[in-house]
Structure 1
Amino acid sequence: MTDEAALPATGAVESTPKQEAADVVADLADDTRAGAVPAERMLIALDIDGTVLLEDDTLSPGVVEAVADAHIAGHEVMLATGRSWDSTHGIMRRLGIRPEYAVCSNGAVIMRRVGADDADEYELAHVETFDPTEVLTLLGEHLAGAHFLVELADGTRLFTDYLDDWNLEGANKVTFAELSDQPVCRVVVVAPEQTDQDFLELVERIGLTQVSYAIGWTAWLDIAPQGVDKSTALELVRGWLGIAPDRVLVMGDGRNDIEMMQWAVRNGGRAIAMHQGPPEVHAAAGEVGLSVTEGGVAAILRSL
């Protein structure tokens, strides 16, 4: 009999060098980051101006890295904006994303990626248009000196006067009467001498019932076809992607984000308003994050 304690047979035990063990841990972390253990896929729709982009045209702190991490986790991160496709595509490139779809022109235009996941080519998937004659005539009578711009179904933009806030690269200057020559998917009206409250009162007074509209922080009126907004386009995208309604997350800061926020919350998803947004946007979202300057989008995405 031996003095040593009897141990159960456990088989051969092999010691792994410390560096090799560290490499294994790192590989496991990389596998998890690359989607080896994916979360249930979410549809994450982000507004651009005031949400991912600051007033000086710089990106919100941390947004590029946070969006990349959300994509790696298997989520569909896309933009839903009032901007035209050309402008939206440029922001997508700055963010480093190539989503399957992009919602532009406040829901009147949906673009679809063509080809592989890493492709940067898109085609028109859906467009809504309307005859702008009546609304332009009505606004022209009440807003002397206003600046007008329309967007056609093919992305062509026509405008009446230059404005510093507009990116008019590739746009064509026309007379006011020529704005109504063709169906449009969007009308933009800017009246520098007016306030956003002036616009709210004007719209209520003249009754823009035949179109959808959103009023910006300044005297900026964005008009889309009746019944069309970011939410109607996002519902189409959600269906095409096969993502459950309660797996939707939207973020924005402006009045043109209200409908998509209400849509997300109504269907069991989430809506986050940027802190600097107006009270009615906060109310529609139900959740308020940090401001765009504080990295509001990045903070929410990191918490997922």
Structure 2
Amino acid sequence: MRENGRVTSATRRPETPASTVPTRLIATDLDGTLLHDDKTVSARTIAALAAAEQAGIEVFFVTGRPARWMDVVSDHVHGHGLAICGNGAAVVDLHGGPGAHRFVKVRELAPDIALDVIQLLRAAAPGTVCAVERTFGLHLEPGYPLMHMEPPEIVSPAEKLLAKDALDADQPVLKVLAFHPEMDPDGFLTVARTAIGTRANVTRSSPSALLEISGPGVSKASTLELCCAERGIAPEEVAAFGDMPNDVEMLTWAGRSYAMGNAHPAAVAAASGRTAPNNEDGVAIVIERILAERL
């Protein structure tokens, strides 16, 4: 199912006291948040996730990763088995294990808007090179660095990657990745947001000058909001965890939210609380506290 994006407020809501509104859903980012830097899930975190599910608290992994990079946590989805991928561009059922995921929702970036955004970025930040993330593959422009977890399927200028007769044109575009070899990451984000405006949602989660561009209104928060509405779960009943600018909307929207000890300043400003760094199991620490509150 394909849906238009919804804009979620970026105003930090006051946190409701935990004693009055029990947590019904935990939403956690992966890289820099749930995962250690070596991309593993610790034994403590695995136990905390399982205990939350056993207590009736749903757990959603909410990540910028594409669905095909979710093997690292596919063994830890319980119950619903769903994950929000591509910064909200897709909801994926991970049941069945690696290679057997199923797209439940797709909130695509229209190819004509994607090309418009790329051209605006080229003008605003000369030297920008881009990649196109479709549902089942990553396609690169010449000069785009090989920084991801897989080889590209196609290398060609964006105009060809996004053409109506392009290979895999039948697959929705989930996001555009834009890289600049010289600019400061936050500076590049500011330039891109100014140039693109409301045509698309622009964010970043990488330590390098790599931007992630989704459809207008598409974010981790807006897709999480859709999933929660389907379950009758209010923002006040959600605890969210994140570390980078692509988590800001989600941290703002959730009733309880925690920036990691290693978080970007924008994530810290958006969250209602802090926890330990990812390498010290900061997510597990809070989950254990939430479960203790229920006793």
State the TM-score, normalizing by the size of structure 1: 0.76
Percent identity between matched residues is 30
Does 2:74 correspond to 1:93? yes
Q: Tell me which residue corresponds to 1:203.
A: 192
Q: Tell me which residue corresponds to 1:6.
A: none
Q: Larger C-alpha radius of gyration, 1 or 2? A: 1
Q: Tell me which residue corresponds to 1:26.
A: none
Unaligned runs of 5+ in 1: 1-38
Q: Tell me which residue corresponds to 2:153.
A: 171
Give 1:277's match in structure 2, choosing from 259, 263, 266. Answer: 263
Structure 1 distance, partners of 2:137, 2:44, is 33
Cα distance, 1:293–1:163 mapped onto 2, change above 3 Å: same
**Is the CA contact (8 Å cut-off) linking 1:199 and 1:215 kept in structure 2?**
no
Structure 1 distance, partners of 2:125, 2:149, is 22
Structure 2 distance, partners of 1:205, 1:41, is 37
| 3-state SS, counterpart of residue 49 of structure 1 | helix
**Structure 2 counterpart of 1:294, which letter?**
E
Does 2:138 correspond to 1:138? no
Q: Tell me which residue corresponds to 2:203.
A: 214
Q: Which has the higher contact order (CA 8 A, sep 6+)?
A: 2
Does 2:104 correspond to 1:125? yes
| Displacement of 1:241 | 2.5
Does 2:212 correspond to 1:226? no
Q: Tell me which residue corresponds to 2:250.
A: 260
Q: Tell me which residue corresponds to 1:301.
A: 287
Give 1:245's match in structure 2, choosing from 230, 235, 239. Answer: 235
Does 2:175 correspond to 1:186? yes
| Displacement of 1:204 | 4.8
Structure 2 distance, partners of 1:238, 1:64, is 23
Cα distance, 1:58–1:253 mapped onto 2, change above 3 Å: same
Cα distance, 1:92–1:98 mapped onto 2, change above 3 Å: farther
Structure 1 distance, partners of 2:79, 2:210, is 29
After superposition, give the CA deviation of every residue in 1:249-287 in whole Å (9 maximum; x if it has no partner): 1101010111111111xxxx2111101112221121120
Aligned CA-pair RMSD: 2.5
| Displacement of 1:72 | 1.8
Structure 2 distance, partners of 1:284, 1:256, is 11
**Structure 2 counterpart of 1:52, which letter?**
L
**Structure 2 counterpart of 1:165, which letter?**
M
Does 2:61 correspond to 1:79? yes
| Displacement of 1:207 | 3.9
Structure 2 distance, partners of 1:85, 1:55, is 20
State the TM-score, normalizing by the size of structure 2: 0.78
After superposition, give the CA deviation of every residue in 1:45-74 in whole Å (9 maximum; x if it has no partner): 110110012333233572122112212222
**Structure 2 counterpart of 1:188, which letter?**
L
Cα distance, 1:201–1:243 mapped onto 2, change above 3 Å: closer
Structure 1 stretch displaced more, 240-249 or 128-137: 240-249
| Displacement of 1:200 | 3.1
**Structure 1 counterpart of 2:65, which letter?**
R
After superposition, give the CA deviation of every residue in 1:151-204 in whole Å (9 maximum; x if it has no partner): 22x333211245343112463333332232256220111223221133034225
Cα distance, 1:169–1:95 mapped onto 2, change above 3 Å: farther
Q: Tell me which residue corresponds to 2:41.
A: 59
**Is the CA contact (8 Å cut-off) linking 2:125 and 2:191 kept in structure 1?**
no
| 3-state SS, counterpart of residue 55 of structure 1 | coil
Matched positions, count: 256
Unaligned runs of 5+ in 2: 1-20, 164-168, 291-295
